[in-house]
């Protein structure tokens, strides 16, 4: 898996800090996610597989775009409430705010945190 800082940050912030979103933004995110999961909901499903794939990837891209814009907004508005957990060795964003292991370089810091 390739490391894409922007994409990884989107996933990280939205997965772990979506409770900081306003109700309106939360709805927007949920709506766009459900459309991405079920792109033919309320519409006719195209006959050809390639067309279905196209619609699916379009809906997925729309969801990613919504998620990205909400993440940017969230980081700007709630910066001090959002802790970005980065690996001390490679500086990449790890999976969760409490992760003690880096999925990117294999570094771990179990000991250093326990002693706090
Ligand atoms: Zn690392």
* 8 Å CB contact between 77 and 91: no
Report the separation in Å between the CA atom of 5 and the middle of ligand 1, taken as the mean of its atom positions.
13
pLDDT tens, the chain, 116 aa long: 799 999 999 999 999 999 999 999 999 999 999 999 999 987 889 999 999 999 999 999 999 999 999 999 999 999 999 999 999 999 999 999 999 999 999 999 998 755 44
Give me ligand 1 centre to Cα 1, in Å.
14
Q: Which helix (H) or strand (E) holds 52?
A: helix 49-77
Q: Are residues 96 and 68 in the same domain?
A: no
Is 65 found in the same domain as 32? yes
d(CA 72, CA 21): 11
What pLDDT sits at residue 113?
Answer: 54
Question: Are residues 71 and 20 part of one domain?
Answer: yes
For residues 69 and 14, membership in a common domain is answered with yes
**Distance (Å) of CA 96 to CA 12, 14, 20, 61, 64:** 7, 11, 16, 23, 19
pLDDT at 1: 77
- Gap from CA of 17 to ligand 1 centroid (Å): 22
Q: Name the domain count of the chain.
A: 2
Q: Distance between CA atoms of 115 and 35, rounded to whole angstroms?
A: 45
Domain extent, residue 31, equals 5-83
Q: Ligand 1 centre from 21 Cα, in Å? A: 29
69 and 58 within one domain:
yes
* Phi and psi angles of residue 7, each rounded to the nearest 5 degrees, phi first: -70, -45
Q: Do 95 and 77 share a domain, yes or no? A: no
């Amino acid at each position: 898996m390739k490391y894409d800082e922007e994409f990884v940050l989107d996933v990280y912030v939205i997965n772990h800090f979506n409770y900081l979103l306003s109700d309106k933004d939360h709805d927007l995110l949920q709506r766009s996610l459900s459309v991405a999961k079920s792109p033919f909901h309320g519409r006719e499903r195209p006959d050809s597989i390639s067309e279905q794939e196209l619609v699916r990837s379009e809906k997925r891209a729309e969801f990613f775009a919504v998620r990205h814009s909400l993440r940017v907004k969230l980081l700007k508005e709630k910066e001090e409430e959002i802790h970005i957990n980065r690996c001390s060795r490679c500086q990449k964003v790890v999976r969760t705010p409490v992760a003690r292991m880096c999925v990117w370089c294999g570094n771990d810091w179990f000991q250093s945190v326990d002693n706090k």
